[in-house]
Structure formats: C-alpha cells, structure tokens
Amino acid sequence: MKTIKPYLHKVNYYETDKMGITHHSNYIRYMEEARVDFLDQLGWSFIKLEEEGMASPVMSVEGVYKKSTTFPQTIEIMVGIEKLSAAKLTFSYEFKCEGDVVFLGKSTHCFLDTRGVPVLIEKRYPEFYADLKGIYEAGQK
C-alpha cells in the first residue's frame, strides 16, 4: 500500500485579510490542492481520471476552524478517506501549523461519467476503487 505524505501550503500574503489572518475562504481551496496532491500520490491524477472519463464533483464541504494562520506560515495538510462506497467518497482533512491543529475539514464527492451520469466506481473503475479502499482500510486500523 502507498504511503501518502502531507501536502504543504505556504500562506501567501494575498491570502490574508486586513487583520493579517488567512481568509477563511482559502481553506476550501487548500482542501482542493491537498486532494489533488493526494490523488497524484495515489497514482490517479485528475488528468488520468478525466482521461478515463470520470468526474468527481464536490457534493458537500464542512470545516471547523481551530486556530488562525498568517503569512508566511506553512500549513501541513493530511488527507484521509473517511467514508467510501461504490458511489461516493468523503475525504477528511487535518491542517496543522507549527504542530497545532488549525482546521478540520471534510468534502464529499460523487462520481460521474462524461455525460454527467452517476457511476459506481467499484464496478466501472475497479483499480481506482481498490486503491481508495486500501487507503480507507489502513486508516480504520
């Protein structure tokens, strides 16, 4: 099974608000950056998934802000799989900065073909499903 490394994001000056704190809206983008990196590490880049004819739109996003971050801190983002079924996938995100948890998030995704029709990845993309399941099961132990 593959070991997934945390994604690192250095807070840019333009991502902060007038108070010098990372604007809350950026955390959704950081989740996407970390998710893309996670899939790259798993061997299933967005390009590969799209070439296979699959899309995975966001169905819902949740977030809990624990502590502020500022420019130029580096945020370490660990992505995991919280729930996995043949039709949906929920990622979990733990953001840490200087050893402290600063944000906890989740995003839920479904799977569609190029026509926008829902697909069951367990049947249509069994290798992708098996790789996700391996990460999911490893995280449940």
pLDDT at 4 over 70: yes
Amino acid 141: pLDDT: 55
Amino acid 3: pLDDT: 85
- Note if the pTM is more than 0.85: yes
Amino acid 1: pLDDT: 61
pLDDT at 2 over 80: no
Amino acid 67: pLDDT: 98
Q: Which residue among the candidates 17, 40, 100, 131 is catalytic per the annotation? A: 17
Q: State pLDDT tens for residues 12-63.
A: 999 999 999 999 999 999 999 999 999 999 999 999 999 999 999 999 999 9
116 burial via Cβ count (<10 Å: 0-12, 13-18, 19+): exposed
Asked if 105 and 53 touch (Cβ cutoff 8 Å), the reply is no
**Number of neighbours of residue 128 by Cβ within 10 angstroms:** 20
Amino acid 20: pLDDT: 95
Matching residue, tokens 């130029």: 72
Mean pLDDT, the chain, as a whole number?
A: 95
Beta bridge partners of residue 60, listed in sequence order: 108
Whole-Å CA distances, 135 to 3, 81, 116, 131, 139: 9, 7, 27, 7, 6
CB within 8 A of 39, min separation 6: which ones?
45, 46, 49
Q: Is 40 a catalytic residue?
A: no
Q: Which two tokens stand for residue 122?
A: 């367990």
